[in-house]
Structure 1
Amino acid sequence: MVSTDTCRRVAVTDAAASLVRELSAQHGPLMFHQSGGCCDGSSPMCYPVGMFITGPSDVLLGSLDVGLDAEIEVFMSEPQFEYWKYTHLTIDVVTGRGAGFSVEGPTGMRFLIRSRMLNDAELEHFGLASSST
């Protein structure tokens, strides 16, 4: 993993970070929006900054340090976040047809999400730990 901070909601694998750097050289600054299941399933969609407009109903999950001058922001819609708020997401990349609207589409690679439940320390950090008495 590129990011080693254990209290982040998002991370990126080395392979995905490498592809993001290549795509950034072609397209400029990039961002991710975790798709909610429409069109391209539930893939993380990678866009040039400004091409996908986020709004008040989008949640900034965090930023990824992929070795560029600026970090890559990762967003998700607020209703979808309600289902995923107990989950840590890692953006990875595999061989395959990329999403139609995402910039990796023509590369023969596709971004995907790997998820796990937040651990106790992360739950506490994000204010999600249950108070049991």
Structure 2
Amino acid sequence: MNAILNVIWLIFGGIWLALGYVLAGVICCLLIVTIPFGIASFRIAAYAIWPFGRTIVDRGGRASTLSTLGNVIWIVVAGIWLAIGHVLTAIPMFLSIIGIPLGIANLKMIPVSLTPLGKEIVETRGTRVPQLR
């Protein structure tokens, strides 16, 4: 079921979302100082291209104070706008029955788009529908 949802997700916007995050990652890597944000953008792009069957978890003790500082900078510069974008694109997805899982997947990306540093994207086992986390 996750594979079918991922293919539908790709067709109805996942590919464009992933390409946007890749473009942001390339720009961040070109600016050298923002390479950690570029790496985070590439990680989000990989999640955006295939979100079903995966979830976001905190790294826990491995996240440093530099991650926290980076997340504060990210929220101010890009995170809040990305989160608003995910909410605004999820709303039309909820208008059809087929789009409901896609809307949930879009909302599932908000935590990682708000604070990407100190997060990991992991495989879920035995999950049939996407869960908000």
Please give the range of the TM-score, normalised by the shorter of the 2 chains. Answer: under 0.3
More strand by share: 1
Q: Which has the higher contact order (CA 8 A, sep 6+)?
A: 2
